[in-house]
Amino acid sequence: MPIASINPATGETLKTFESLTKAQIEEKLQRAHDTFSVYRESSFTERTTMMLRAAEILDQDKSELARIMTLEMGKPIKGAIGEVEKCAWVCRYYAENAQQHLADMVIETDAARSYVKFQPLGPVLAVMPWNFPFWQVFRFAAPALMAGNVGLLKHASNVPQCALAIENLFSRAGFPQGSFQTLLIGSDAVESVLRDRRVAAATLTGSEPAGRSVAAIAGGEIKKTVLELGGSDPFLVMPSANLDQAVTTAVKARTINNGQSCIAAKRFIVSTVVYNDFERRFVEQMKALKVGDPLEESTEIGPLATGQILKDVDQQVQTSLAAGAIILTGGKRVDRPGNFYEPTVLTNIPKGSPAYSEEIFGPVALLFRVNDVDEAIELANATTFGLGASAWTSDEAERDRFINGLEAGCVFINSMVASDPRLPFGGIKNSGYGRELAEFGIREFVNIKTVSISK
Ligand code: NAP
């Protein structure tokens, strides 16, 4: 796939870029290596000043940065502005908390003094997806840079302008040249970068096949990885739930970012007691969503990010329908230029169909009816993924059963799953391993060095 910005709302090619040559990659790797040897010695005070400046620039330039995102990958502009604001938040969070998260940890032993010291690892390769083209990068970069590592970004090939804007932003914030570099390369060039002895570790946010590939290569080189992969999050609704709130949140949780979010609620598992009511209201609200130009403030659903995603989503829907699923609304592309797909709701989804077991990365909701909590938990866990889960109930016993029984990296009760710099984020099963954000995230790419000084 060439490295190109193509406006998914119109199909217009905005800009194309040449992939870096081998010599250019070599230059950037050496620069990362050389920069690390100096940058690792910088103080938390120095890093904090630069990270706070990055937050300020994000705030100042948010309209322009949001517009780049919307033009490259079709996110509604309101969401794009919110995304830039969230990046400023994560910069401030780590600027204010990194030193404390990485402070020496004294542990009493027989020695005169023993403690744990956290030290940076070196250049970390970040392979990132297009769906939250700023947020995904910042939630890696802010803790990595505050810990004293340096970053090498291999962004998705359809968001090169976002990738370059982020590199530029860190440079304007005062971070030394070489501490955060964008590599405009295709996925075929990832292997040689990852195998390079100067690269210490890697993080990948993206699909399961990409995660498997990067983790296998890194495993061969004995390099640490963090993987943030796909999800097919359940959204469980029990009879005691506040149905008004549950329905409105369900629609938002499924359609945020045009339905292209790893933690979007994808499977709605609803008690038979309230199922009919939920289905009717949910379908009504999905039908009422405003599909249109993502640059318009009032647009709720923009285009899918690429023509390939549009094809994949439609094929998953059509195959599921052929296998016996029933369509309640939507189910086809919108008749206009660009990669628009109708907000879609399916029910009666047969086991073995794509809608039952695969992640659908678009505005397609899957409704399931269950008899009780046991059945709800069993169905929620009947997936290879384990990223997030949202459960709706006002019954405390039910709530505790969901918290204990759901196989996921997080459980949100009576709200939708969302990332927050203060809370760890990540999955289990085929959704990946390792954690981003909070104290857990900044400790992923550090040497946890034990120090023992004898009496
Ligand atoms: P993708 O195709 O896996 O691409 C993600 C990144 O990996 C891109 O930079 C891509 O580069 C690169 N890549 C693809 N195949 C590779 C390979 N074999 N070796 C090395 N790099 C490779 O994923 P996507 O379609 O862009 O993103 C959607 C997926 O990301 C969904 O499954 C979603 O759930 C997941 N996601 C997870 C999280 C999370 O936090 N858990 C967050 C957001 C998204 P090219 O663009 O050059 O191919």
DSSP 217-244: HHHHTT-EEEEE----EEEEE-TTS-HH
Q: In whole angstroms, how far apart are CA 8 and each of 72, 103, 305? A: 7, 46, 6
Q: Among the atoms of ligand 1, which is closest to the Cα of residue 186? A: 47
Of all protein residues, the one whose alpha carbon is nearest to atom 48 of ligand 1 is: 187
Site to substitute for ligand 1 among 19, 128, 131, 136, most atoms within 8 A of C-beta: 131
Taking the alpha carbons of 404, 416, 249, 256 in that order, is the dihedral positive or negative?
A: negative
Please report the pLDDT score of residue 414 as a whole number. Answer: 98
**Ligand 1: centre distance to CA 207 (Å):** 4
Look at ligand 1, atom 27, and give the residue with the nearest C-alpha: 206
Pocket of ligand 1 (CB under 6 A): 1, 127-131, 136, 154-157, 186-187, 190, 205-207, 210, 213-214, 228-231, 262, 359, 361, 387, 427, 431-432
Residue 209 CB partners (closer than 8 Å, separation 6+): none
Site to substitute for ligand 1 among 159, 187, 212, 214, most atoms within 8 A of C-beta: 187
Pocket test for ligand 1, best of 183, 261, 262, 440 (most atoms within 8 A of CB): 262
Is the per-residue pLDDT at 73 higher than 80?
yes
pLDDT of amino acid 408: 98
Query: How buried is residue 140: exposed, middle or buried, by Cβ count under 10 Å (0-12/13-18/19+)?
Result: buried
SS3 content of the chain, % helix, strand, coil (to 5): 45, 20, 35
pLDDT of residue 103: 98
Kindly report the protein residue whose alpha carbon is nearest to atom 30 of ligand 1. 206
pLDDT tens, residue by residue, 224-243: 999 999 999 999 999 999 99
Cα(309) to centroid of ligand 1, in Å? Answer: 12
Catalytic residues: 228, 262
* Closest ligand 1 atom, residue 436 Cα: 40
Express each pLDDT in 394-417 by its tens digit: 999 999 999 999 999 999 999 999
Burial profile 301-328: b = 16 or more Cβ within 10 angstroms, e = fewer: bbbbbbeebbebbbebbeebbeeebeeb
For residue 81, pLDDT over 60 is answered with: yes
The rounded distance, in Å, linking the Cα atoms of 232 and 385 is: 6
pLDDT in tens, 93-148: 999 999 999 999 999 999 999 999 999 999 999 999 999 999 999 999 999 999 99
**What's the 156 CA to ligand 1 centre distance in angstroms?**
7
Q: What is the pLDDT of residue 344?
A: 98
Regarding pTM above 0.95, the answer is: yes
pLDDT, the chain, mean: 98
Ligand 1 atom 18: residue of nearest CA: 210
Q: Which atom of ligand 1 is nearest to the CA of 155?
A: 9
- Burial label, 42 (beta-carbon count in 10 A; 0-12, 13-18, 19+): middle
| Phi, psi (deg, nearest 5) at residue 171 | -65, -45
Mutate to test the pocket of ligand 1, among 3, 153, 205 (most ligand atoms within 8 A of CB): 205
DSSP strand pairing (265-271 vs 326-329): unpaired
Distance between CA atoms of 346 and 28, rounded to whole angstroms? 48
| pLDDT tens per residue, range 295-305 | 999 999 999 99
Q: Classify 388 as helix, strand or coil.
A: strand
- pLDDT bin (cut points 50, 70, 90) of residue 1 is low
What is the model's pLDDT at position 417? Answer: 98
For ligand 1, atom 17, name the residue with the nearest CA: 210
Give the number of other Cβ atoms within 10 Å of residue 220's Cβ: 11
Nearest CA to ligand 1 atom 15: 210
User: What's the average model confidence in pLDDT over 74-81?
Assistant: 98
C-alpha to C-alpha distances, 450 to 109, 115, 143, 435, 453, nearest whole angstrom: 12, 6, 21, 22, 10
What span, in angstroms and rounded, lies between the C-alpha atoms of 365 and 301?
Answer: 14
Judged by DSSP in three states, 261 sits in coil
- Tell me the per-residue pLDDT of 319-334, one tens digit each, with 9 for 90 and over: 999 999 999 999 999 9
pLDDT of residue 211: 98
pLDDT value of residue 293: 98
Q: Does 2 score more than 90 pLDDT?
A: no
